[in-house]
């Protein structure tokens, strides 16, 4: 064993590297999404049959699809929809799940039992299958996707928050608040909940990855975003008929999903590191 | 084996969940806008025929009575008829179950074959380039859309190299296996990303554990310690993770079956939705939910078999 | 001490912050029990990990000194050669049998892995060997117990099983790191008795690491007291305990429950042991020492022979051969 003495391992000051990279990646997509009208070189839905199925070139960096639409422009415009999916698809379940989990854990007893049995039942369904079934009832479309997401996605948050609340319920500062005769609502939402949120905020970042993938998958199946709107999952579905001749139609929107999802994964890892949360 | 006594009473505990599953699917399907009788008979049905169907299926009775009929039919193995295929839903599912089972089982096996060596390599070379590379790839892999990955594999291995069929299932067993390689690989790669991260972390924890130190103090070579002590101990949490992800796996198979035109239950589900073939949708959703519950139960049995400390 | 089985000289272990163990030397002869005593953080556990070559790589490393087993130098041996020493010639008993035994492997396999590796026994021979070992460490019905998992045994039985794994390949030296700390008081004496029996039957040398002078009093022949990574005093157990030269040893003895006379609170040593990287200059004990003189702050006291086979590292040692029992 060589006696190579490591310098004392000091914590490098500043933010974890994954967090910085994650913020940069997600931020870059956000800039593209916001700036789409100015940044996209072409109209994302304007057809140009003269320029259909062109491979990547100087005029069309990422090629064109079977309607002659510019893939680069569609990918940039697609960022708007897919970022929105990632945001709204997480925020609704987060809010619902946090409320239910907090009430369930704080109230205990029958309320807790009923909610947790409901969680068990919803978790018994494969996530995507239940989503698809709900969307089938509501009819295809992005609105249906968000509703289904809210109806199915809350369970993970409810479980996380409930577990935290169960622990914090008996913490000293909560007992102190109780002894001061604060109302239940104030104790739960002002004292317990802020301390219980850290874990689920980190989880929300990694959940965003799954939500974006699910949203793209639902659109791929034809149950989400409808043509001619540019959305990455839908673009992949539209390009699948041309894989033997025009690989670029499917490849680039998929890469866009991978990069955005990677950004959120890094964000989750980095945030977890920063806040000391292990999944 | 008293440790396995839970095998007897656990199914009883699962009854409320199974009951809940049946309620949810029932309510979902009944809340579809439109008249089920008209759906069954088509738009040109006469009012008499509609009334007859309503009476026959109890559609004119209160919802909870209808639910009881539904349960009664369910207990007799009667799940209705497919509007599109004009045969019983159960028969239809029986014809379609094989590709789905092969896909799920195949991808679990394949993902373990990918995960265990990769995680071991990363854990044993912690902090080196290999480890960083594996971590990077698996983190990026978390965000791989399975359907896109499938298409990429088709472009690469089927279209360009001609190694595998582009789609479909085949007739002979050999042919079927050949058709299953790419779909299984697709799901397995996506699954491996999750599993590798988890297994690597638990391997590293086990390598630093007291019992591994004790094994080192007994002079065992590192590879023996890894194989006999670290690996078995770190597999337990990974099997649990696999069980937790079984719902994700089945959901993923729905999409991947569509990508590869595999005539399985998932593809049937998606087609059923577009064809408004609701008996089929209801039956498959229930079957998938029940399968998820049962597989989780099996994972519990397996965990108890591996880790003698666990009692359920 | 050329007849020593284990001889440690000038052992120094560094971490990134500074020395954790500095210039430590002691020897254990065959059939002898040496107690390495000190508070937590005194470096005793690091010392024994260094002896057996199990320092956590990357954070701690031996920078000087030698460890000889029957004259063979262990410092600097490669992993392969060290693997032939560990388990084969030096056995190790850990503090907590619950965490140091593999929870998902049968007791017999944990013993079997080592004997099959070191002694090349077959599966069946290893099993017979394991049963015999369990019998020797006093586990009743060993033929049935060998197929048990650790969690199926009681705490005391688990520690006996751990001792069996340490003895599996008939080592010359056993290092026991706090072997009784995790056990019930009633079991502690049994385990110490067992260690002494094994010493008598096998002619083992035993190095016991402990913070408990009671354990030392019951088992050891010799004692080495460590403070802040250095040896403060060592010598024959009876002499050291009855008339310590080093003020730290004396203070340690006063803090033992038995010497407090069972009345009132136990006396404590004022202050805290120094941290690695923030060692006081001179004698490391001087900030807490009631006898400290100005010179103690400047001169590092060498470990000097004080006659009667004892060594102490103190410039102003206590010479009076009497203990001040609870004032």
Digit-coded pLDDT (tens) for C220-243: 999 999 998 899 999 988 888 888
Q: Does B209 touch chain A (CB under 8 A)?
A: no
Q: How confident is the model at residue A209, as a pLDDT?
A: 92
pLDDT at A13: 56
Rounded distance, CA A103 to CA A107, Å?
6
Q: Which tokens hold the place of C133?
A: 């070992």
Q: What is the pLDDT of residue C281?
A: 86
The DSSP bridge partners found for residue C312 are C233, C304
Q: Do B229 and C105 touch (CB under 8 A)?
A: yes
**Is B212 within 8 Å of chain A by CB?**
no
- Please provide the DSSP assignment of C203-271 as one string: --EEEEEES-HHHHHHH-SEEEEEETTEEEEEEEHHHHHHS-SSHHHHHHHHTSGGGGTTSSPPP--SS
Say whether C104 and B308 touch across the interface (CB within 8 A).
yes
Report the alpha-carbon distance of residue C127 to residue A131 in Å, rounded. 56
Average pLDDT, chain A: 87
The pLDDT value given to residue C325: 45
Q: Which residue of C has its CA nearest to B233?
A: C104
For residues C204 and C62, the answer to whether their CB atoms sit within 8 Å is: no
More confident residue, B156 or B14: B156
Residue B56 predicted with pLDDT over 90: no
Lowest mean pLDDT segment, chosen from A127-136, B137-146, B237-246: B237-246
Q: Is B259 on the interface with A (CB under 8 A)?
A: yes
Strand partners, C36: C209, C224
Q: Looking at per-residue confidence, does B5 or C7 come out higher?
A: C7
Q: What is the pLDDT of residue A86?
A: 92
The pLDDT assigned to A5 comes to 40
Q: How far is A137 from chain B (nearest CA, A)?
A: 5
CA distance C192 to B312: 37
Contacts of B251 (CB under 8 A, 6+ apart): A126, A127, A128, A129, A131
| pLDDT attached to residue A278 | 58
Q: Report the DSSP pairing between strands C222-227 and C33-37.
A: parallel
Nearest CA-CA distance, residue B249 and chain C, Å: 28
Q: A90: closest CA among A195, A8, A212?
A: A212
Note whether B40 and B280 are within 8 A (CB): no
- How many CB atoms within 10 Å of residue C262? 8
Q: How many CB pairs under 8 A join B and C?
A: 84
d(C-alpha C51, C-alpha C224), whole Å:
15
Contacts of C105 in chain B (CB under 8 A): 228-229, 232
Q: Name the DSSP class of B159.
A: I
More confident residue, B85 or B221: B221
Q: What residues have CB less than 8 Å from C304, skipping those under 6 apart?
A: C311, C312, C313
- DSSP 3-state assignment of C192? helix
User: C105 in contact with B at a CB cutoff of 8 Å?
Assistant: yes
- Of all residues in chain C, the percent with pLDDT exceeding 90 is 33
Average pLDDT over residues B120-147: 92
Q: What DSSP letter does each residue of C9-65 carry, written as one string?
A: EEEEEEESSSEEEEEEEEEEETT-EEEEE--TTSSHHHHHHHHHT---TTTEEEEEE
**Which of B17, B135, B148, B271 best tests the A interface by mutation, with the highest count of A CBs <10 A?**
B148
Write the pLDDT tens digit of every residue in C160-191: 999 999 989 989 999 999 888 878 888 888 88
How high is the pLDDT of residue C258? 61
User: Which of the residue ranges B17-21, B267-271, B301-305 would you say has the lowest mean pLDDT?
Assistant: B301-305
Grade residue B200 by pLDDT with cuts at 50, 70 and 90: very high
Would the CB atoms of B218 and C114 count as touching at under 8 Å? Answer: yes
Mark yes or no for CB contact A126/B151 under 8 Å.
no
Exposed e or buried b per residue across C10-39, where buried means at least 16 C-beta atoms within 10 angstroms of its C-beta: ebbbbbbeebbbbbbbbbbbeebbbbbbbb
> In the structure, what pLDDT confidence band is assigned to residue C1 with cuts at 50, 70 and 90?
very low
Domain B96-306 has CATH 2.60.40.1120: no
Closest residue in A to B15 (Cα) is A121
Please tell me the distance from the alpha carbon of residue A102 to that of residue A165, in angstroms, as a whole number.
6
Between B19-28, B116-125, B257-266, C123-132, the lowest mean confidence (pLDDT) is in: B19-28
- When pLDDT is cut at 50, 70 and 90, the band that residue B312 belongs to is low
Edge to edge, what strands does the sheet with C4-15 contain?
Answer: C19-29, C4-15, C60-69, C72-73
Q: B278 vs A111, which has greater pLDDT?
A: A111
Rounding to the nearest 10 degrees, give the CA dihedral for residues B240, B241, B246, B249: -150
Predicted pLDDT of residue C261? 53
**Closest C-alpha among B12, B169, B153 to residue B98:** B169
The separation between CA C46 and the C-alpha centre of its own chain, rounded to angstroms, equals 10
Q: CA–CA separation, B304 vs B239, rounded Å?
A: 11
Check if A3 contacts C (Cβ < 8 Å): yes
Residue C111 above 60 pLDDT?
A: yes
Alpha-carbon distance A155 to A153, whole Å?
Answer: 6
State whether residue C67 is helix, strand or coil.
strand
Judged against a pLDDT cut of 70, whether residue C263 lies above it is answered with: no
Region B180-192: mean pLDDT is: 92
* Each residue's pLDDT tens digit, A31-50: 999 988 998 888 888 888 88
Q: How far is CA C276 from the centre of its chain?
A: 20
Question: Residue C122, Cβ neighbours under 10 Å: how many?
Answer: 10
Asked if pLDDT for residue B307 goes beyond 80, the answer is no
Q: Look up tokens 């590297």; give the residue.
A: A17
Residue B175 has pLDDT above 70, yes or no: yes
Worst-scoring range by mean pLDDT, B94-103, B121-130, B143-152, C2-11?
C2-11
Question: Residue C7: in which H helix or E strand, if any?
Answer: strand C4-15
Read off the DSSP letter of residue C86: B
pLDDT at A7 over 50: no
Instruction: Name the residue with tokens 């959901």.
Output: B251
Q: Please state which of the ranges B197-201, B244-248, C29-33 shows the lowest mean pLDDT.
A: B244-248
Contacts of C14 in chain A (CB under 8 A): 5
Test mutation, C103, C170, C173, C182, chain B, max B CBs within 10 A = C103
Indicate if the pLDDT at residue B164 is higher than 60: yes
Q: Where are the domains of chain B?
A: 7-75, 96-306
Among the ranges given (A152-161, B124-133, C116-125, C280-289), the one the predictor scored with the smallest mean pLDDT: C280-289
How far apart (Å, rounded) are the C-alpha atoms in residues B265 and B242?
Answer: 21
Stretch C305-324: mean pLDDT: 74
The angle at the Cα of A259, spanning A257 to A261, to the nearest 5 degrees, equals: 65
HSE of B170 in the Cβ direction (CA atoms, 13 Å)?
15
DSSP letters of A176-229? HHHHTT--HHHIIIIIIHHHHHHHHHHHHHHHHHHHHHHHHHHHHTTSSSPTTS
The pTM for the full model equals 0.85
Give the nearest chain C residue to B309 (CA atoms).
C151
CB C227 within 8 A of CB C44: no
Q: Does A121 touch chain B (CB under 8 A)?
A: yes
Percentages of chain A per state (helix, strand, coil), in multiples of 5:
70, 0, 25
Cβ-proximal residues to B80 (8 Å cutoff; 6+ apart), any chain: B73, B88, B89, B279, B282, B283
A209-247 core/surface letters (b: 16 or more CB in 10 A; e: else): bbbbbbbbbbbbbbbbbeeebbbbbbbbbbbbebbeebb
Average pLDDT of the residues in A224-237: 91
Check C118 against B219: CB less than 8 A apart: yes
Mean pLDDT, to the nearest integer, of A142-148?
Answer: 93
Give mean pLDDT, residues B254-260. 92
The tokens for B284 are 């498959």
- The gap from C-alpha B152 to its chain's centroid, in whole angstroms, comes to 22
Q: Is the pLDDT of residue C67 over 80?
A: yes
User: How does residue B224 score in pLDDT terms, banded at 50, 70 and 90?
Assistant: very high
| Strand, coil or helix: C105 | coil
Helix or strand holding residue B147 (H, E)? helix B146-153
Distance from CA of A95 to the nearest CA of B (A): 23
Check CB contact under 8 Å for C85 and B219.
yes
Q: Which of residues 84-113 of B touch A (CB under 8 A)?
A: none
**Mean of per-residue pLDDT scores for chain B:** 86
* Nearest-angstrom CA–CA distance, C117 and B220: 7
């Amino acid at each position: 064993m060589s006696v190579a003495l490591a310098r004392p391992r000091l914590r490098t000051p500043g933010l974890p590297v994954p967090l910085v990279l994650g913020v940069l990646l997600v931020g870059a997509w956000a800039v593209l999404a916001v700036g789409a009208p100015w940044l996209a070189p072409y109209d994302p839905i304007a057809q140009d049959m003269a320029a259909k199925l062109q491979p990547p070139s100087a005029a069309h960096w990422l090629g064109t699809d079977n309607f002659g639409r510019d893939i680069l422009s569609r990918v940039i415009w697609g960022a708007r929809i897919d970022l929105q999916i990632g945001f709204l698809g997480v925020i609704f379940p987060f809010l619902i799940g946090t409320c239910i989990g907090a009430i369930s854990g704080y109230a205990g007893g029958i309320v807790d039992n009923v909610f947790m049995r409901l969680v068990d039942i919803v978790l018994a369904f494969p996530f995507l299958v239940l989503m698809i079934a709900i969307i089938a009832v509501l009819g295809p479309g992005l609105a249906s996707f968000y509703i289904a997401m809210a109806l199915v996605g809350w369970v993970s948050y409810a479980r996380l928050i409930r577990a935290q609340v169960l622990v914090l319920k008996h913490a000293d500062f909560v007992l102190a608040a109780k002894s001061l005769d604060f109302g239940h609502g104030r104790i739960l939402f002002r004292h317990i909940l802020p301390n219980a949120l850290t874990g689920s905020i980190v989880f929300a970042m990694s959940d965003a990855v799954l939500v974006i993938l699910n949203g793209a998958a639902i659109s791929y199946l034809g149950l989400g975003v409808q043509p001619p709107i540019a959305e990455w999952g839908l673009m992949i579905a539209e390009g699948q008929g041309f894989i033997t001749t025009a690989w670029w139609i499917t490849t680039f929107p998929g890469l866009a999903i991978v990069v955005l999802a990677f950004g959120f994964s890094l964000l989750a890892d980095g945030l977890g590191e920063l806040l000391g949360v292990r999944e | 084996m008293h440790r396995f006594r839970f095998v007897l009473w656990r199914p009883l505990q699962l009854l409320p969940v199974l009951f809940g599953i049946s309620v949810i699917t029932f309510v979902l399907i009944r809340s579809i806008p439109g008249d089920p009788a008209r759906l069954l008979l088509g738009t040109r049905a006469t009012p008499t025929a509609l009334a007859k169907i309503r009476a026959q299926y109890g559609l004119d009775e209160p919802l909870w009575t209808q639910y009881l009929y539904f349960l009664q039919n369910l207990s007799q193995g009667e799940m209705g008829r497919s509007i599109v295929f004009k045969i019983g839903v159960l028969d239809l599912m029986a014809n379609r179950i094989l590709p789905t089972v092969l896909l799920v089982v195949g991808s679990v096996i394949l993902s373990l074959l990918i995960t265990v060596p990769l995680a071991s390599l990363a854990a044993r070379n912690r902090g080196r380039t290999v480890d960083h590379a594996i971590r990077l790839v698996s983190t990026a892999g978390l965000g791989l859309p399975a359907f896109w990955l499938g298409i990429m594999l088709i472009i690469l291995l089927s279209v360009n190299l001609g190694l595998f069929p582009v789609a479909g299932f085949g007739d002979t067993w050999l042919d079927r296996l050949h058709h299953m390689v790419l779909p299984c690989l697709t799901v397995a790669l996506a699954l491996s990303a999750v599993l590798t991260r988890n297994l690597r972390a638990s391997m590293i924890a086990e390598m630093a554990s007291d019992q591994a130190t004790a094994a080192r103090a007994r002079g065992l070579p590192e590879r023996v310690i890894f194989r006999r002590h670290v690996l078995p101990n770190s597999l337990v949490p990974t099997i649990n993770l696999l069980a937790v992800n079984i719902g994700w796996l089945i959901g993923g198979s729905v999409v991947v079956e569509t990508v590869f035109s595999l005539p399985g239950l998932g593809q049937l589900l998606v087609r059923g939705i577009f064809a408004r073939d609701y008996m089929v949708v209801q039956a498959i959703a229930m079957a998938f939910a029940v399968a998820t519950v049962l597989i989780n139960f099996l994972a519990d049995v397996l965990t108890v078999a591996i880790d003698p400390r666990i009692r359920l | 001490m050329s007849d020593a089985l284990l001889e440690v000289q000038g052992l120094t272990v560094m971490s990134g912050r500074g020395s954790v163990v500095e210039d430590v030397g002691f020897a254990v002869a065959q059939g002898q029990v040496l107690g390495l005593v000190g508070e937590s953080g005194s470096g005793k556990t690091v010392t024994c990990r260094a002896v057996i070559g199990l320092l956590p790589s990357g954070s701690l490393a031996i920078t000087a000194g030698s460890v000889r087993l029957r004259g063979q130098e262990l410092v600097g041996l490669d992993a392969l050669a060290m693997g032939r020493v560990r388990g084969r010639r030096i056995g190790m008993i850990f503090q907590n049998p619950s965490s140091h035994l593999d929870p998902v492997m049968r007791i017999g396999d944990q013993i079997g892995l080592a004997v099959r590796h070191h002694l090349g026994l077959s599966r069946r021979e290893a099993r017979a060997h394991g049963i015999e070992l369990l019998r020797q460490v006093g586990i009743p019905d060993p033929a049935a117990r060998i197929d048990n998992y650790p969690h199926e045994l009681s705490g005391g039985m688990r520690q006996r099983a751990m001792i069996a794994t340490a003895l599996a390949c008939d080592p010359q030296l056993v290092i026991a790191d706090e072997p009784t700390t995790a056990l019930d008081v009633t079991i502690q004496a049994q385990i110490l008795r067992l260690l002494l029996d094994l010493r008598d039957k096998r002619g083992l040398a035993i190095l016991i690491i402990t913070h408990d002078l009671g354990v030392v009093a019951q088992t050891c022949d010799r004692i080495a007291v460590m403070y802040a990574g250095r040896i403060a005093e060592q010598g024959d157990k009876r002499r050291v305990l009855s008339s310590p030269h080093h003020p730290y040893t004396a203070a340690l003895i006063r803090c033992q429950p038995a010497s407090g006379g069972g009345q009132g609170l136990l006396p404590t040593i004022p202050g805290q042991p120094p941290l690695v990287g923030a060692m006081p200059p001179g004698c490391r004990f001087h900030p807490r020492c009631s006898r400290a003189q100005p010179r103690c702050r400047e001169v590092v006291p060498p470990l000097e022979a004080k006659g009667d086979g004892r060594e102490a590292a103190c410039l102003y040692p206590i010479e009076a051969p009497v203990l001040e029992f609870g004032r």
